[in-house]
Chains A and B, each alone.
Chain A
């Protein structure tokens, strides 16, 4: 069984569109994250949720809005997509806000904005 899953795996869309990426974890973790990996492979944290509550919100345009319907899901909605949003987006999860437990990553969603 996949521990952290993301859909879709690939997403190609036009500038100005609104799209969502979904993430689900079946590990029973209480904390989930979104990361952005740019073309140079640099990984940067975007958001962190603990038990459906936003914990970390790095400097990310407000076109990006995370939504957590329950602690097993953290979806990422992006409005008015721009060319610079093209990247690979990774979801991750772990147990214990404030702990130093390992984060487990999803397979990534490759977003290409044309």
Chain B
């Protein structure tokens, strides 16, 4: 079956540091890939997505590129802020038997300190 593997957290960075959160996946075919963010006490919000190989999703300074050759979708940001502190989930979405199914990674907690 499908699976998503994320780096374990928490990841602690100083403000303005460079962020990378690794995500790799296992799936057949061509799934869509997503990053969701969950701020403390809130629900999931879509951060960015990519639907085919070599697509780059970007939003709020975050970027991730769909790499089929390495089955990866790493999340990056050049300069993090305290307000970026949250849990980040990598996810893949694929059709299976006529319906779609989303598989989430375990989440990576990011803490940004001033």
Contacts and interface: CB of A to CB of B under 8 A. Distances in A.
Nearest to B92: A100
B28 interface: no
B51 A100 contact: yes
Interface in A72-100: 90, 92, 94, 97-100
Interface string B75-113: 000000000000101000111001111101011010000
Instruction: Give the contact-size bracket for chain B.
Output: 20 to 34
Interface in B35-50: 36, 38, 42-46, 49
Given A100-B94, A102-B49, A107-B43, A40 B106 contact: yes
27 contacts: A41-B38, A41-B87, A41-B109, A42-B104, A42-B106, A43-B89, A43-B107, A45-B102, A48-B101, A56-B99, A90-B43, A97-B98, A97-B99, A97-B100, A98-B95, A98-B98, A98-B100, A100-B32, A100-B94, A103-B102, A104-B46, A105-B36, A105-B43, A105-B44, A105-B45, A105-B46, A108-B42
Interface of B: 31-32, 34, 36, 38, 42-46, 49, 51, 87, 89, 93-95, 98-102, 104, 106-107, 109
